[in-house]
């Protein structure tokens, strides 16, 4: 049974429960299994040897998630070096593919946690009440350790883009 954590996030002002551990900077990044837009599995190992910027959203079909993913796509496109940029949500891969095509997203690879919920549970960002992922950002260094982590307090708010991008740049 997954660990339950309360008092970490709000959704529209209402307290929510997160399932999974409280991942900290310096921790070894937990493995996960998600699927890409072609239903192929993607794991932590697929980004090995690269800096991994992982942005996590409840659903791409909401205004804040849309803005966040577009912003990271634009900013990550300016970074050079071995960088993998993922946006993970519970959206079905077909919806993610459609959204990316409509939004012109090329730098960010969208991945779905709908099959196993392993990313949400292993990174402690699965919202028990909604069965969606909490808005968050993780930067994993080439050494496989968490270099940056932000779990946005209010799910409907945007993350600290500058801090996340700065953390990724330092590792490139």
Active centre residues (catalytic): 65
Question: What percent of the residues of the chain are helix, what percent strand, and what percent coil, each to the nearest 5?
Answer: 25, 30, 40
Strand bridging mode 83-89 / 51-56: parallel
**Cα distance between residue 113 and residue 34, in whole Å:** 5
**Cα distance between residue 172 and residue 155, in whole Å:** 29
Q: How many other CB atoms sit within 10 Å of the CB of residue 93?
A: 19
């Amino acid at each position: 049974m997954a660990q339950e954590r309360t008092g970490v996030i709000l959704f529209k002002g209402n307290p929510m429960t997160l399932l999974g551990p409280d991942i900290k900077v310096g921790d070894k990044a937990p493995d996960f299994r998600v699927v890409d837009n072609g239903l192929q599995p993607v794991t932590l190992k697929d980004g090995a040897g690269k800096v991994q910027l992982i942005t996590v959203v409840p659903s791409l079909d909401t205004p804040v998630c849309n803005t966040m993913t577009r912003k990271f796509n634009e900013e990550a496109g300016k970074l050079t070096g071995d960088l993998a940029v993922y946006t993970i949500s519970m959206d079905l891969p077909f919806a993610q593919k459609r959204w990316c095509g409509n939004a012109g997203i090329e730098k960010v690879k969208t991945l779905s946690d709908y099959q196993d919920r392993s990313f949400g549970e292993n990174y402690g960002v699965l919202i028990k009440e909604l069965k969606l992922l909490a808005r968050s950002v993780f930067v994993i260094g080439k050494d496989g350790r968490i270099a940056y982590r932000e779990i946005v307090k209010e799910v409907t708010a945007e993350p600290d883009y500058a801090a996340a991008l700065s953390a990724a740049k330092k590792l490139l």
